[in-house]
Amino acid sequence: MRILIIGSGGREHALAWKLKQCPAVTELFVAPGNGGTAGIAVNVPIKDSDIPALVAFAREKAVDLVVPGPELPLTLGVTDAMKEAGIPCFGPVAACARLEGSKSFAKEVMQAAGVPTAAAGVFTSRVDADAFAAEHGAPLVIKADGLAAGKGVIVAMTDEEVRAALDLMFEDHAFGDAAGTVLIEEFLRGEEVSLLCFCDGRTALPLPSAQDHKAVFDGDKGPNTGGMGAYSPAPVLPDERLDAMADIVTRPVLAEMARRGTPFTGILYAGLMMTEDGPKVLEYNVRFGDPECQPLLMRLKNDLVDVITACLEGRLDTVKLDIEDRSALGVVLTSAGYPGAYPKGMPVSGISSAEELDDVRVFQAGTRRDGERILSSGGRVLCVTALGRDLRDAQKRAYEGLDRLSMEHSQFRSDIGLKGLKRLGLA
């Protein structure tokens, strides 16, 4: 079986690592890939947004399965285009990828499906937005409608901040096309957690819970990033509640998308706020999260090709996920300055030494190979991920792995997993 993975992050390195272990896999391509995927697969210099080139490549190499990592190709219709070419692709069609690509669409689907979520207004006019903001008052959350690489959300705690956020969205067009439509949402309090499900159009099979760390600094301080670390399971959503949670936040959306004639196949990721009034959906992603994918795939014991094939063939109801009892935790090493400007081309050393530790993997993201050397080439450089007998042990082992790495001008959070440990009464 020849597989093409699309993307270049730590998630895609983890997908390549996991798929490489499947006996059916004979060739693995990653477009465009990174320094890590170069070591275990063939990197192909095609951008994740170049759908015609991806289809042409998949045809030329007689690829049997395409696995897109990021949201961009999915919202651009890579699954539709591959389908047209007769190539199975594990991800939702564009009509379903809108659940991530448009926050107003996601809100409308949630309301139609009866999924609990923050109350919100959708605005294309500044005057109406101001009137709504004045009526409700801070704190409010202001969201640009479209994809904005995680930057289109402003949590405004004062009326002053609400005004500034609306200025930014409506007047400065800070989010380009993404800001033509703006959502103003009720501010929710609680702990965040992610529930990812394999979906085959009808059936949703939950993976264990995971928790991301979006802010750049310890204690959830500083600007939001793509994610500074993640672990699984998150004690705020224990295994015994996964199925009931999928009934509330995932299966109704699956039913609604099927009812609309566009069934959802792929990974549906619900970003949840666990409030005093129960779970509320903050957002849907239509793919694996990065870095949640790294600890989740280290815990998944099934053959990933088998699970994906069952999704594509509509027989996920015959599959049982086999999950490692141990916890997994990943810490992201970034270039200093990220998510702002940062230097590139820094040598990274110690990767093989870190991987000599049992059940420690270094999933590379913003790296490239230069002969034998690995050089940084992006904001998030890599994610050291470890299994441990419990959350505390996984944390200890991931940081042990990180200790063996060195890169000048780098940074990382030293508190990945702390919220989980606190909830367990261990910190």
Binding site for ligand AMP (CB under 6 A): 118, 141, 143, 153, 155, 185-188, 192, 214, 271, 282-283
* Dihedral over Cα of 280, 282, 288, 291: its sign: negative
Q: Which partner in ligand AMP, ligand GLY, none is near 208 (CB below 5 to 8 A by kind)?
A: none
Per-residue CA distances from 372 to 32, 39, 348, 375, 392 (Å)? 19, 11, 11, 10, 34
* Segment (H or E) for 386: strand 380-388
**C-alpha span between 226 and 409 (Å, rounded):** 19
* Minimum separation from the CB atom of position 221 to ligand GLY (A): 18
Q: Which is nearer to ligand GLY, 404 or 413 (CB)?
A: 413
Per-residue contact string for residues 270-299; x = within reach of ligand GLY by CB under 6 A? ---------------x---xx-x-------
Quick one: DSSP state of residue 212?
E
Q: Which is nearer to ligand AMP, 104 or 376 (CB)?
A: 104
**Residue of 10, 69, 227, 401 that binds ligand GLY (CB under 6 A):** 227
**C-alpha span between 54 and 214 (Å, rounded):** 31
Binding-site size for ligand GLY (CB under 6 A) equals 7
The reply to whether 100 sits near ligand GLY by the rule CB under 6 A is: no
Q: Are 184 and 163 in contact (CB under 8 A)?
A: no
* Minimum separation from the CB atom of position 412 to ligand GLY (A): 16
Q: Which partner in ligand AMP, ligand GLY, none is near 141 (CB below 5 to 8 A by kind)?
A: ligand AMP
Place of tokens 């139609």: 112
* Minimum separation from the CB atom of position 111 to ligand AMP (A): 15
Beta sheet of 373-376, edge-to-edge order: 347-348, 373-376, 367-370
Place of tokens 């230097």: 343
Q: Which partner in ligand AMP, ligand GLY, none is near 290 (CB below 5 to 8 A by kind)?
A: ligand GLY
For residue 187, give both structure tokens.
Answer: 């501010």
**C-alpha span between 243 and 247 (Å, rounded):** 6
Q: Which partner in ligand GLY, ligand AMP, none is near 251 (CB below 5 to 8 A by kind)?
A: none
**Residue of 192, 212, 365, 382 that binds ligand GLY (CB under 6 A):** 212
**Positions in the binding site for ligand GLY (CB under 6 A):** 212, 226-227, 285, 289-290, 292
